[in-house]
Chains A and B, each alone.
Chain A
Amino acid sequence: MATPLLEVDGLRKSFGGFTALNRVTLHVKAGERFGLIGPNGSGKTTLINCVSGALAADAGRILFDGRDITTLPAHRRTRLGIVRSFQIPKPFVSMTVLENLGIPLEYAGRGRGHAGGAAEATEILQAIGLEAKAHLRPAGLTQIEMRKLELARAMAARPKLLISDEAMAGLSSAEVDDILAILFRLNAQGITIIMIEHIMRAVMRFSERVVVLDAGERIAEGTPDEIVRNPAVEKAYLGE
């Protein structure tokens, strides 16, 4: 078996007296569509924050492409290819949509002041359907357009591993399909994707493998069908 693209080994993270992650271990294979689910407060976002480098774990290791990145700062991890989108979109408000993409293109990608930036950014916007809004500020975008901008920005960072953190929350059914299609397309291009979602039909349709977290611990792993039938998972979501 080839080395997994991402390995999380015994990760622990506490906030004061509260343990958010308790020795979580999982791995994601290259090119995989991986789902991460769990009830609110189960530690999904904390895990993602630790993987992306926004938080420093208290214990455990994180390996990416065989390399130990546990102490690497977030921007270095991005340059290695770990890119995340944010649950609540965090656009660069003083810049246009195009300029928003310019930042990851310049900093996470190849070149400083790389002239090809605008062309590449436009391509990404076309692929995602935001081309018409290229010269608008984020303030002029709708909810779903903001989510798409988050994804477009992540794409501009040339990810090997894309972590989509609840990109579909609060969207309509058609909008969810829209985003899902984009993610499928990205995966087809070879990008490994971790999807964190509460919208079950999206996760189940998208994921090849799912890990379930509850109260900071990994309680189940398997294909979407296996997970759905797992009694521990049912208990976690519905309570005792």
Chain B
Amino acid sequence: MARTVRAVLVGLAVVAAGIALAMLRVNPYLYFAGYVILQYVVIATAWNILGGYAGYVNFGTPAFFALGAYTAVFLIQSTRAPLPVLILAGGLVSALLGLGIGYLTLRLRGVFFSIATLALSIVLQTMIMNWDYVGGSRGMSVLRPSGPPFGSYVTFLFTVMVALAVVAVIVARFIERSWIGRGLAALRDNEEAAECMGVPTLKLKLFATTISGCLLGVAGAPFPYYVTFVEPNSAFNLDYAVNALAMPMIGGTTSWVGPVIGAVLLGAAQQLATVTISSEMNLFIVGVVLVAFVVLAPEGILGLVRRLRGR
């Protein structure tokens, strides 16, 4: 318990630093880039709760992210709800999606869950493209609300994302160190044995998909205000699918630290690269790096560090 309190305090300090950074009014591009990287911290951390801790691979990250974004669009259009409500609603809807897909497929082998998530994004995108209320395939302009509590709206969103990243990491860390995390590790290592040792594998798996989905939706909820023009191709971008995998795999999947390392490294690299290479080339490189890591260094950077230290 004391360790968790310490972690929360550290988290609050980080948020405070984020606000201070926002007040500094440095080059505005830094806030745009910072937002994206922090968004990936949330995404990678969320993915890892299911992928790294439980061993169930979700290929449909864009579906959950975009659902959070489009829930926000729907609420903005219908009720002009404030940002905290958007975030909670986005999280809730994506959590339900996670629970639903999980309930339908998690009683079968893990590979069926993965296949279902792979098909999920495409289907959901098609459905959203046919829903004119949220803009359909043409997309929709979203007006940022007036008067952010401080700074410009972008710097405000930046701090919001700092806070969300802190929350995501704290949640992941808490799960990892709790009896839930130990149970997830057991079912990841050997599900049949875990079940026979008293671990309620189905319940834990559903828990992980729900929390993971929720955090992905939370990451997506501020997206409409960030981009101000939401259209399915950007919300369902393949970037999210491959990065959500690559960042934890590169950083290391067994602990909350890995996704953070991966998100910061890969996210920063991609932000730097977008000015020099095309986005397709960027994706290509990420894909190659992902495969390279999976084949050669499956434990990621954390694993390499551990091996260097001689453990």
Contacts and interface: CB of A to CB of B under 8 A. Distances in A.
B196 A54 contact: yes
Nearest to B195: A74
B190 A108 contact: no
A53 to B, nearest CB: 8
A104 B182 CA distance: 11
Interface in B230-281: 254
A157 B198 CA distance: 8
A107 B190 contact: no
B196 A78 contact: yes
Nearest to A82: B196
Interface string A71-83: 0011110110001
Interface stretch (A27-35, A86-94, A216-224): A86-94
A95 B196 contact: no
A94 B185 CA distance: 8
A40 B47 CA distance: 44
Nearest to B193: A90
Given A102-B182, A113-B179, A92 B196 contact: no
A74 B254 CA distance: 27
A112 B185 contact: no
A78 B197 contact: yes
Nearest to A90: B193
B185 A78 contact: no
Contacts of A52: 196
A176 B185 CA distance: 32
B190 A104 contact: no
Interface stretch (B115-123, B199-207, B218-226): B199-207
Given A90-B190, A92-B190, A95-B189, A84 B178 contact: no
- Chain B interface size, under 10 / 10 to 19 / 20 to 34 / 35 or more: 20 to 34
Interface residues of A, number: 30
A86 B179 contact: no
A84 B185 contact: no
Contacts of A91: 189-190, 193
A144 interface: no
B192 A108 contact: no
Given A74-B196, A75-B201, A94 B189 contact: yes
Interface in B134-182: 178-179, 182
Nearest to B200: A75
Contact of A113 (B178, B186, B193): B178
B196 A106 contact: no
A67 B196 CA distance: 19
Interface string A199-223: 0000000000000000000000000
Contacts of B192: 54, 86, 90
Contacts of B185: 92, 94-95
A153 B197 contact: yes
Nearest to B186: A103
Query: Which of A104, A107, A157: most chain B CB closer than 10 A?
Result: A107
B300 interface: no
B194 interface: yes
Nearest to A74: B195
B170 to A, nearest CB: 18
B183 interface: yes
Contacts of B195: 53-54, 73-75, 78
A79 B189 CA distance: 20
A81 to B, nearest CB: 10
A121 B183 CA distance: 17
Contacts of A113: 178-179
Given A94-B254, A102-B182, A107 B189 contact: no
A97 to B, nearest CB: 13
A103 B196 contact: no
For the complex of A and B, the 4 pairs showing the least CB-CB separation, nearest first, are A108-B198, A107-B198, A90-B193, A92-B189
12 contacts: A76-B200, A78-B198, A83-B197, A90-B193, A94-B254, A95-B186, A102-B182, A103-B199, A104-B197, A104-B198, A108-B197, A113-B178
